[in-house]
Amino acid sequence: SQTIHQWPATLVQPVGSPLSLECTVEGTSNPNLYWYRQAAGRGLQLLFYSVGIGQISSEVPQNLSASRPQDRQFILSSKKLLLSDSGFYLCAWSPGRAAKNIQYFGAGTRLSVL
């Protein structure tokens, strides 16, 4: 069966520090991968998605970047965190294009930038 792992579960970082969140998927190959952010009072916002190794699409301009160094690994990074980067970050995968397939989500990372 397929599983998705996301870590860390919680993170408290000072403004200006770097960030690295990791997501890995097991039990499938060539998944579509997604990073979302869920801020308080706001909906789920798609940040990045990837249809293959090294292929990253950004949905919104921001202080963050994403990379996919391996087929089932998706990393969200920042060189210098801002207060506005605080939120709940969710990784997800789907077996194909998002509109045609169910998306499966990780447990999320709660990021607090102080």
Partner 1 sequence: KQEVTQIPAALSVPEGENLVLNCSFTDSAIYNLQWFRQDPGKGLTSLLLIQSSQREQTSGRLNASLDKSSGRSTLYIAASQPGDSATYLCAVPPGGGSQGNLIFGKGTKLSVKP
Member of 60, 82, 102, 114 binding partner 1 (CB under 8 A): 102
Task: For residue 69, give Cα distances in angstroms to 44, 60, 78, 86.
Answer: 25, 21, 16, 25
Single out the residue of 51, 27, 55 nearest to residue 99, CA to CA. Answer: 51
Nearer to partner 1, 12 or 15 (CB): 12
Q: Is 112 in the site for partner 1 (CB under 8 A)?
A: no
**What residues from 34 to 93 belong to the interface with partner 1 (CB under 8 A)?**
34, 42-44, 46, 49, 59, 88, 90, 92
How far is residue 26's CA from residue 104's CA, in Å, rounded to a whole number? Answer: 12
Contact present, 47 and 36 (Cβ < 8 Å): yes
Site size with partner 1, rule: CB under 8 A: 23
Point out which residues bind partner 1 (CB under 8 A): 6, 34, 42-44, 46, 49, 59, 88, 90, 92, 97-100, 102-108, 110
